């Protein structure tokens, strides 16, 4: 059985991180989102069909034609005309029952195995606020009665989470599916048609699900995955360094004297850490990072090649590749009134739901010495700040 992964979209909600890469190539615990998905499909699918579009060449370069024994085929969705349209592009690659799933969410392997045993089904999860999702009404034996996208009338807390088991008949249904009000061919419309015609069930997820809708969602997924990490020290640790709890250190990495690391923490290969810095829980550092004297980092993701060499505090933040944080760069991550943070997304303020949130910095951005960054502010790829600058608004270049 094959699995179709929809990875063609251009995610503007995760800017500035996805200005320079497709969302499936964002990393959680030093592994691409797409790699986490492929790991979860091990033993469930024997082949992968990747629907690509935005920056497709980057996905091809990262994953090639095989992953852990699973062959990978690529289908290009030249126009992003909806999830149903993405599935329809795969008709020539599919000869039997198959799984279909979003390319930017993390799913529990056991849940994927459970839905794979069904003939036709969708994976769902009970959520506290279903207005953000499509929701299901189910009847006897969990058969789908109706599926409504982002309802104003909440009749269920059972959210559609973007994994489906189909037979090839879905292709004919999609060919005859009218575009939605957004002008897209929706996979949810096909689900409703299949449910009206026969048996289409809901499988309720029993494990984890991490939708990566905004940059700060990476922090939630990173924290969860680090707690499941297998510790391994592959680098050189100075005897005067202190490591507490589960910590993974990649090959070629040097941990100098006076460094304190409180796990769970994942550090990549060929990094230079210290002397005299504090890496607090739920931090991931990519390959080739340099963290120096009197730098404190907590609950953050540093992608490959990030430098923070002197006297900085970075908390609850996501930092893009090759960013350089000048001496004394400090993130504010807590409001004085204790309220949750808002961040501007596509010109509108979005409540992040987080009481602690630092910054999101794109690839190759540089901060000047003594830069202070307000909570939830973003720096676009290649952006710079002046010495002593206070970042009160997003810096878009």
Just list the catalytic residues.
310
3-state SS assignment for residue 39? helix
Q: Are the CB atoms for 342 and 352 separated by under 8 Å?
A: yes
Q: How far apart are CA 82 and CA 160, in angstroms?
A: 16
Ramachandran bin of 44, using left for φ above 0, alpha for ψ from -120 to 50, beta for the remaining angles: alpha
Please give the structure tokens belonging to residue 205: 């997820």
CA distances 257 to 48, 176, 238, 251, 277, Å, are 46, 66, 5, 18, 9
Give counts: helices (H), strands (E), the chain: 7, 39
**Distance, CA of 298 to CA of 316 (rounded, Å):** 6
Q: List alpha helices for 100-182, DSSP H.
A: 109-116, 169-175
Q: What are phi and psi of 297, to 5 degrees?
A: -130, 135
Of the candidates 198, 49, 167, the one whose C-alpha atom is nearest the C-alpha of residue 97 is 167
Task: Note whether 126 and 206 are within 8 A (CB).
Answer: no
* C-beta atoms surrounding 151 within 10 Å: 15
Task: Output the CA angle 248-219-102, nearest 5 degrees.
Answer: 105
- Strand extents, DSSP E, 250-295: 254-255, 260-262, 265-267, 272-273, 278-279, 283-285, 290-293
What is the end-to-end Cα distance of the chain in Å, rounded? 45
Report whether 167 contacts 119 (CB < 8 A).
Answer: yes
Query: What are the residues facing 121 on neighbouring strands?
Result: 165, 201
Name residues whose C-beta falls within 8 Å of residue 198's C-beta, 6 or more positions apart in sequence. Answer: 120
Q: How many residues can be counted in the chain?
A: 397
Contact (Cβ atoms closer than 8 angstroms) between residue 328 and residue 370: yes
């Amino acid at each position: 059985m094959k699995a179709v992964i929809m990875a063609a979209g251009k995610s503007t909600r995760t800017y500035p991180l996805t200005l320079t890469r497709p969302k499936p190539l964002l990393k959680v615990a030093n592994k691409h989102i797409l790699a986490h998905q492929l790991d979860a499909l091990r033993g469930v699918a024997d082949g992968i069909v990747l629907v690509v579009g935005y920056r497709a060449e980057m996905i091809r370069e990262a994953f090639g034609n095989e992953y852990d024994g699973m062959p990978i085929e690529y289908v290009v969705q030249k126009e992003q005309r909806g999830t149903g349209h993405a599935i329809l592009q795969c008709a020539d690659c599919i000869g039997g029952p198959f799984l279909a799933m979003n390319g930017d969410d993390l799913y529990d392997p056991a849940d994927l195995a459970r839905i794979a045993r069904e003939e036709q089904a969708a994976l769902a999860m009970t959520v506290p606020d279903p207005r953000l999702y499509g929701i299901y009404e189910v009847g006897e034996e969990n058969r789908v009665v109706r599926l409504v996208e982002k309802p104003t009338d909440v009749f269920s807390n059972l959210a559609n989470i973007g994994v489906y088991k189909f037979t090839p008949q879905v292709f004919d249904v999609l060919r005859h599916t009218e575009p939605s009000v957004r002008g897209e061919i929706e996979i949810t419309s096909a689900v409703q048609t299949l449910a009206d015609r026969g048996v289409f069930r809901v499988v309720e997820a029993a494990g984890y699900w991490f939708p990566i809708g905004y940059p700060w969602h990476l922090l939630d997924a990173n924290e969860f995955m680090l707690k499941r990490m297998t510790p391994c020290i592959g680098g050189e640790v100075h005897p005067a360094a202190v490591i507490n709890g589960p910590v993974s250190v990649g090959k070629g990495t040097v941990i100098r004297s006076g460094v304190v690391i409180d796990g769970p923490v994942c550090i990549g290969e060929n990094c230079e850490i210290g002397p005299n810095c504090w890496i607090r829980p739920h931090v991931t550092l990519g390959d080739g990072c340099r963290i120096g004297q009197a730098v404190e980092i907590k609950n953050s993701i540093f992608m490959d090649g990030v430098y923070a060499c002197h006297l900085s505090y970075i908390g609850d933040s996501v930092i893009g590749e090759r960013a350089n944080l000048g001496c004394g760069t400090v993130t504010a991550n807590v409001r004085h009134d204790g309220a949750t943070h808002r961040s501007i997304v596509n010109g509108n303020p979005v409540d992040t739901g987080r009481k602690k949130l630092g910054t999101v910095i794109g690839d190759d951005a540089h901060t000047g010495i003594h830069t202070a960054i307000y909570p939830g502010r973003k720096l676009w790829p290649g952006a710079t700040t002046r010495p002593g600058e206070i970042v009160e608004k997003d810096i878009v270049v």
